Structures are given as structure tokens and as C-alpha cells.
Amino acid sequence: MNNILELKNIQKSYHTKEGEILAIKEINLNINKGEIISLVGPSGCGKSTLLSIICGLDKFDKGIINKDNNLKIGYMLQSDALLPFLTIYENAILGLKLQNNLTKDRLKYVDYLLKLYNLDEFKNNYPTSLSGGMKQRLALIRTLAINPDILLLDEPFSALDQQSRLMISDDVYKIIKKEKKTVILVTHNIEDATIFSDRVIILSKRPAIIKNIININLENNDSIYERRKDKNFNKYFDLIWKDLDNNDQ
Amino acid sequence: MTNEHKRYLLKLRTYKLKVFFFQLLIIISFLGLWEVLVNIGFLNAFIYSSPSRIIMTIIDLIKTNNLFIHIYITLKEVLISFILGLSLGFIIALILYEWPFLAKILDPFLTMINSLPKVALGPLIIIICGANIKSIILMALLINLIINVISIYNGFLGTNEYQLKLFKSLNASKYQILTKLVIPSSYRTIISSLKLCISQTLIGVIMGEFLVSKQGIGYLIVYGKQVFNLNLVMTGIIILAIISFILYKLIIILEKKLLKNI
């Protein structure tokens, strides 16, 4: 597999009046094209900071990030971050508009996604008329519309109820598999990490270092429901849980 | 439509009508009591005037073609000061938002100017601008500008952090962030600040008219006091109350229209 992103000795500190807090310490990570990896670790360990660094929103103190300058990054946040003053369609094409990329092909793709997720009939409505699950689907469409090379998903399902969570995570899984997207998923949920990933990166308590990397090898790749039924699912779940549990000791 | 829903709508309408009825009752009782107390001599008609005397004064002002010119002048001054205050407030808030360092430097000065009684600057304004409309508009501006700056600036600062992060992750330029996110997100705050701005502008204009004008409702009140025609003073106050109410209602209608989808 081709390497799409490489993090070398990434280090990041925060400065406050009280002193310096080392948030991330020497993270080394290679991400291959088409690979889905999950970052798991205790709360506040620096998972989201690492995503922000990869996305270029946050600066880092030491290290190197090797990536193609034209690498398109799609960032899906914990909050749907929909703009209430834009219609559903305008929200879906927001990224394309900001990047001056309103081509026929991209707009056609947005229409296809809106239809696929049953949002096309509401496209002239405003986001207030959508349920939490539908809003997160729209956020996914907005992220995919720009055709990103790599998708950064920062706890994208955490604000959803259990039913919406299962449905949307399945939608996300199917589309990233179908389109062979490279994904970095930040999650607290061991189940999500196990079902989604090819590799799970376990981070330590702050300052974050990579504590363990677990390669996941579940046989079925059709849907998250099928992957959960895999005979090895519990084994991987326990391995991740054990590593996380050790974090707290 | 089900019977339950019809009953619900009827209940809503009845509630609105009840509120309106009691509002009307308060006004009629107040005016009626005022008229009666003056007529039985409990209140001095020379000082307190009365609703019937105010109506007669209004009729006289209409007959002498004076009423509408005074209203027109005051409204013109209010409109100019309102638009200027809002535009300048918006621009200054934008500058402060774009340069947080400048905002930090100016913060205590804004607070100081905001709490300063502007009427104290009256004599200075007259000396600088002269006894003309410029002084009136400057007085109104001094009153509404800082409030506009503070409320619009706070609106900008309240932009959702996730939406900001999203725009940055999409490589939006500073200009795009400002025009497509920060400003539209602040519509609600800006429009809400219009209500405060219109009442503050009216206060500023009347204060200015007290000081320098030869026309306008403020002038009518001062002139009435000078010639001891307190019917004229009361008429000015009542007209001012009506203008203030109409302007406020207009802003509410505008607010409803602009915020329909937000």
C-alpha cells in the first residue's frame, strides 16, 4: 500500500500562565492509502489535537509531517457544524463553494449522496427541520462532497442516540469502503474502533505516546453489523480494552 | 383540522386578545383618570395639561402646518443617526474582531466612554459643530455608537467554534470566514441590537434638539417650556412616545422578517 501520510516525532506543548503542558510526545505514524485507522486513548490525551495537527489547524513544536501538498483533507467534527442560515443543499455544497470547486461532477455527486441518504426531498429546507441523525448524515455529505483523499473523523457519532449511531456509522463505513477512502477515526468507543479499523492506535495518558498498535483482521467487510458478528471481534475488543484499562493504572 | 387543534388555536387567539384588551384598558383608564382629575381641579391644568387640551394643541399644530414639519425633522435626524451609528458600529466591531490586540487595548476606553453621561459633552459638541443638525447627529451618535460596537462585536465573538474549525479545515480564506460565517452568524445579535439602537438614537436626537435645534419634537418641548405653554410640552412628550412606539414596532417587524429562517 502507498504511504499517504507520515508523522515523524511529532511533539506538541500547550503554554499557560501556570506552566508548560506537554500534550503529545514523539508520535510516529505511517498511514497507508485506503487504510482505516482509529485513535483511542483516555479523555484529554491529545487524540483531537493530533487530528487538528494533521489537518493544519494546530501547530506542532517538533517533528515532521510528510504529505502531498495537494492532499485534500475532509474533517468531520463531533458537532455537525451545519450553518442554520443556509438550506440543506447550500450546507451540502459549502466546502465546494469555499474551495471554488462547483463543477458539474461534484454537484452531481452531491445530488447522488443527498438521494442516497434520503435528504433530497428536504434540500430546500433549513437544518432545523432535520433530526440529529439526518444532520450528521448531511455533515458527512458535506465532507465527502469535496472528494477528500483522507477523512478525519473526530468522534462523529458521539452526539447521536444509539439507533442513529448504528445507522450512521454503517452509512459511513459502507461509503468509505466503497470509495476506498483513507480514514483516521478518533473515538472513545472501543466497539467503533474495532468494527471500523484496519489498525487501532492506542495512545497513553497525557503526554500522548503510542502505547500499542493492534492490527484488526475481521473477515467480513460488507457492513458494521456483519463485522460485529465476526468470531474475532471479541478478541480484538478485549485487547484494546486491556490496553486502555492499563492506561488508568 | 381536528377539534382539539381548533380549540388550541382559539385559546391562542383569546390569549392575545386578552393581552391587547388589558393594554388598551390601561391606556384608556390612564387618559380618562388624567382628564377627570384635571377637570375636577385635583390636578392643575396649567402644569399637567389634559388629554383634551393635548388633542386641541395637536389640531392647532396641524392647522398652522407645524406638526408634521417637527415630526419630519426629528425622524430625519433619527434616521441619519441610526444608519450612521449602525454602519460605523459595524465597521468598528469588524476592525476589533480582526485585530484582537487592538480590541484588548481599546477595551477599557470603550467601557469608559460607554458609561460617560453624554449630555455632559453637549457644550463641547456645540462649540465644535455649531448650533445645527451636525451637533444633534453627533450627540445621537455618541449615545448609540458604543452600544452598537459592543453588541455587534460580542455577536462576532460568539461565532460557533466548531463552525470556525470547519471553515478553517476547508481552507476558507479570512474574507470567506468573515462574510460567509462570522457576519451571517451574528445576524441575530445585530438585529437584536437594532431595538436598543433605535431607542438610544431617539434619546440622543431629543437631547441634541434640547441643546441646539430650531425645529423638531425636542425643540417643541423646549419652546413650550420657555413660553410656559405646558400643553405644548405634554403634546411633544405624547408625540415622542407614539414615534418611539412606532419605530420599535417597525424594528420588531423587520426582526421577524430577517430572522425567519435563522
Task: Please count the other Cβ atoms lying within 10 Å of the Cβ belonging to residue A200.
Answer: 25
Domain limits at A204?
3-71+149-247
Q: What is the pTM of this model?
A: 0.83
The reported pLDDT for the residue numbered A1 is: 53
**CA B118 to centroid of chain Cα atoms:** 16
DSSP string, A111-142: HHHHHHTT-GGGTTS-GGGS-HHHHHHHHHHH
Question: Is A156 in the same domain as A229?
Answer: yes
Q: Given an 8 Å threshold on Cβ–Cβ distance, is B262 in contact with A84?
A: yes
pLDDT at residue A175, rounded to an integer: 85
Confidence class for position A249, pLDDT limits 50, 70, 90 = very low
| Predicted complex ipTM | 0.88
B123 prior amide bond cis, ω within 30: no
Best of A51, A98, A154 to disrupt the B interface (most B CBs within 10 Å) is: A98
Q: What CATH code is assigned to B49-258? A: 1.10.3720.10
pLDDT digit string, tens, across residues A165-204 = 888 888 888 888 888 889 999 998 899 999 999 999 999 9
Same domain, A63 and A179: yes
Interface of B with A (CB under 8 A): 160, 162-163, 165-172, 176, 180-181, 184-185, 187, 261-262
Q: Are residues A89 and A143 in the same domain?
A: yes
- Distance CA(B236)–CA(B210), nearest Å, equals 12
Last residue of a domain, one of A102, A129, A148: A148
- What is the mean pLDDT of the segment spanning A6-11? 93
Whether residues A57 and A180 fall in one domain: yes
Q: Which residues of chain B have pLDDT under 70?
A: 261-262
Number of structural domains in chain A: 2
3-state secondary structure chain B: CCHHHHHHHHHHHHHHHHHHHHHHHHHHHHHHHHHHHHHCCCCCHHHHCCHHHHHHHHHHHHHCCCHHHHHHHHHHHHHHHHHHHHHHHHHHHHHHHHCHHHHHHHHHHHHHHHHCCHHHHHHHHHHHHCCCHHHHHHHHHHHHHHHHHHHHHHHHHCCCHHHHHHHHHCCCCHHHHHHHHHHHHCHHHHHHHHHHHHHHHHHHHHHHHHHHCCCCHHHHHHHHHHCCCHHHHHHHHHHHHHHHHHHHHHHHHHHHHHCCCC
By DSSP bridging, strand A150-154 and strand A73-76 are: parallel
Mean pLDDT taken over chain A: 89
Contact A98 B170 (CB under 8 A): yes
Q: Is residue A67 domain-shared with residue A156, that is, in the same domain?
A: yes
Chain-chain contact of B163 with A75 (C-beta, under 8 angstroms): no
What is the per-residue pLDDT across B196-241, written as a single tens digit (0 to 9) for each?
899 899 999 999 999 888 889 999 999 998 888 899 999 999 999 9
Domain membership flag for residue A7: yes
Domain match, A156 and A142 both:
no
Is there a single domain that holds both residue A103 and residue A225? no
Residue A243 and residue A154 share a domain:
yes
